[in-house]
């Protein structure tokens, strides 16, 4: 069953028309079933013919036995002697002469049987042969089939045997049955030690089968021809019916579906077949009409929704412009007084330190005011930068930048801070590490990353800064030995205003760095192991060679 399913699945996948698939499938089924029918019909026909020949052989055998019995019951028969016939040397009183001088010879049952067999054989009808294992006449010697049958008759008590064999390129049906000793037989065979009921011998009947086999072959051929013609006519009729009743309506329905899918109105509204296909076509027409109405109604709703979204988008853009303008103006307005305040604080702090001897507490307050003013200035500057990045007005001034030299400058600028914590810098880079970038903005990114590493890195540790070129990109990595960053924090670390612990920063540094790197067409990421420590911030930039090729 599984094999049949696989064959049907493969047949269904063939790229041929449905009508051809149907006709081929029906033809295969009919061929197989008709072939099986022809096989069994031919087998039964052959069996019937063989049975008919068998009945003929049995009838001949019985006729010969009755003829022999009649002759034996009358003690033999005398026939007029012909010149070519000699009296039998095996019979007593084998010849007599009547009063007119005519000679007559005696014929035993065996001799009459032999004469009849000779006549029948000359006519090409059949022949029979009397045989025995205890011969009187050598002409009655058995052949292989007869000898095996005689032995089986005597030892097993078999009543008859049949066989189909080829003799001189012709088929013959052979039938043999035993002859039993009767009282009349003892007149001639008592001296051989037979008793009544013993197997005296057998008579084999041989019937030619060529005409019967020819009839079987002719019948099989006629049956095959008739079946082939019937299958052919049936296939033609099925093909025409399939094409007219199924394929054509399905084609019309397919055309209607195609027109509907392309937005065209089909001229065919339904298929007129008066059956399930017409119902299907009517259902499609109803469905297409409902979909068309729904589509038109949906288009109206979408247009209304689109107009509403456009209006809302215009308002949002207007609000966003106002927000950006407000932040820019506020940042500018805040930066000016804060810078003035910072300068005044520096002047007051310096003046108090110079003139006053008991002004230590005042100087501490002034330092607090100064630090907060510095923090406010940084917050304003970072907010202004982030707003420019998000609004898309972040201007970059490209030039050829030597990353190795830039990294060395940044490391030197943090020399005093690194010396206080005994943190050393290890810079690893190729001699030529050039990129097209805004040098000030890349410096800003490096300063932020190195500052974070110095802040979180432990004393007596090392900060590795590596520059490598892979796949047409420059990758800059800043690795410290600080505590690892948890995985859930790594996903948030680049968000605006996100800080770790009690950090006093604005929470905008990494967000601004990410925006700067992405504005250059690169990426900024972090790799950290919360269990063993070590944090690596790395960013990529297109190299000079790749940018020039573009």
Strands in 168-312 per DSSP E: 170-180, 199-208
- The helix/strand/coil state of 539 is strand
Task: Write the DSSP symbol of residue 479.
Answer: E
Q: What average pLDDT does range 308-319 have in this prediction?
A: 79
C-alpha dist (Å) from residue 193 to 181, 189, 200: 11, 7, 10
pLDDT digits (tens, 9 = 90+) for 203-254: 888 888 888 888 888 888 888 888 888 888 888 888 787 777 777 777 777 7
First to last CA, the chain: 63
Single pTM value for the model: 0.40
What is the pLDDT at residue 265? Answer: 62
CA distance 82 to 75: 21
**Cβ count near 305 (within 10 Å):** 10
Cα four-point dihedral sign 369, 371, 374, 380: negative
Identify the band that residue 548 occupies on the pLDDT scale cut at 50, 70 and 90: very low
- What fold is seen in the domain 395-549? Heat Shock Protein 90 (3.30.565)
Residue 267 pLDDT exceeds 60: no
Label residue 550 by pLDDT band (50, 70, 90).
Answer: very low
- Burial of residue 532, with CB atoms counted within 10 A of its CB: 0-12 exposed, 13-18 middle, 19 or more buried: exposed
Q: Spell out the alpha helix ranges (H) of 74-158.
A: 109-122, 144-156
Give 167-203 pLDDT, tens digit per residue. Answer: 888 888 999 999 887 766 665 665 566 677 778 788 8
Query: Cα-Cα-Cα-Cα dihedral of 186, 192, 198, 199, to 10°?
Result: -110
Phi, psi at 121, each rounded to 5°: -70, -40
Residue 374 has pLDDT above 70, yes or no: no
- Stated length of the chain: 550
Beta-carbon neighbour count of residue 421 at 10 Å?
14
CA distance 178 to 181: 10
**Alpha carbon distance 71, 203 (integer Å):** 16
CB neighbourhood size of 510 (10 A): 22
pLDDT score of 269: 54
CA distance 192 to 199: 12
Stretch 77-82: mean pLDDT? 79
The predicted structure's pLDDT at residue 365: 65
pLDDT of residue 478: 92
Q: What is the DSSP letter of 477?
A: E
Query: What distance in Å separates the CA atoms of residue 400 and residue 360, rounded to the nearest whole number?
Result: 50
């Amino acid at each position: 069953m599984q094999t049949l399913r696989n064959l049907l699945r493969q047949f269904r996948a063939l790229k041929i028309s449905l009508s051809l698939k149907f006709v081929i499938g029906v033809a295969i089924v009919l061929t197989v079933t008709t072939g099986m029918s022809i096989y069994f019909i031919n087998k039964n026909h052959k069996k019937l013919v063989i049975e008919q020949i068998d009945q003929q052989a049995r009838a001949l055998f019985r006729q010969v036995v009755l003829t022999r019995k009649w002759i034996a019951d009358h003690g033999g028969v005398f026939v007029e002697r012909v010149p070519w016939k000699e009296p039998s040397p095996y019979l007593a009183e084998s010849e007599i002469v009547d009063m007119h001088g005519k000679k007559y010879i005696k014929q035993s049952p065996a001799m009459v049987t032999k004469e009849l067999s000779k006549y029948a054989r000359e006519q090409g009808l059949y022949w029979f042969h009397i045989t025995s294992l205890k011969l009187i006449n050598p002409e009655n010697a058995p052949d292989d089939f007869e000898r095996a049958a005689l032995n089986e008759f005597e030892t097993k008590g078999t009543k008859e045997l049949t066989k189909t064999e080829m003799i001189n390129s012709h088929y013959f049906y052979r039938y043999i049955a035993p002859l039993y000793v009767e009282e009349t037989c003892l007149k001639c065979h008592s001296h051989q030690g037979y008793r009544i009921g013993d197997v005296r011998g057998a008579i084999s009947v041989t019937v030619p089968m060529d005409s019967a086999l020819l009839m079987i072959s002719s019948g099989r051929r006629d049956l095959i021809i008739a079946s082939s013609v019937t299958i052919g006519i049936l296939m033609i009729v099925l093909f025409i019916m399939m094409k007219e009743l199924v394929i054509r309506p399905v084609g019309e329905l397919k055309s209607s579906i195609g027109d509907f899918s392309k937005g065209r109105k089909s001229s065919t509204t339904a298929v007129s077949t008066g059956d399930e296909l017409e119902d299907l076509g009517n259902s499609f027409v109803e469905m297409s009409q409902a979909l068309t109405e729904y589509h038109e109604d949906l288009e109206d709703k979408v247009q209304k929704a689109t107009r509403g979204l456009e209006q809302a988008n215009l308002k949002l853009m207007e609000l966003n412009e106002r927000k950006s303008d407000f932040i820019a103006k506020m940042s500018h307005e805040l930066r000016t007084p804060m810078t003035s305040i910072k300068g005044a604080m520096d002047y007051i702090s310096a003046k108090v330190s110079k003139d006053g001897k008991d002004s230590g507490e005042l100087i501490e307050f002034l330092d607090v005011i100064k630090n907060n003013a510095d923090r406010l200035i940084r917050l304003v500057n970072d907010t202004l930068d982030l707003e420019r990045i998000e609004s898309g007005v972040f201007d970059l001034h490209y030039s050829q930048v030597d990353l190795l030299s830039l990294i060395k400058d940044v490391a030197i600028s943090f020399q005093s801070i690194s010396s206080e914590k005994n943190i050393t810098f290890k810079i690893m880079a190729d001699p030529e590490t050039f990129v097209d970038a805004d040098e000030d903005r890349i410096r800003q990114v490096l300063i932020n990353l190195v500052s974070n590493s110095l802040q979180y890195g432990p004393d007596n540790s090392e900060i590795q800064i590596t520059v490598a070129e892979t796949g047409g990109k420059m990758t800059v990595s800043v690795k410290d030995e600080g505590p690892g960053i948890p995985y859930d924090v790594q996903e948030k670390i680049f968000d605006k205003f996100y800080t770790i612990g009690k950090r006093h920063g604005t929470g905008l540094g990494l967000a601004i760095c990410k925006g700067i790197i992405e504005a250059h067409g690169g990426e900024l990421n972090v790799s950290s192991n919360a269990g063993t420590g070590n944090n690596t911030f790395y960013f990529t930039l297109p190299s000079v060679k790749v940018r020039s090729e573009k």
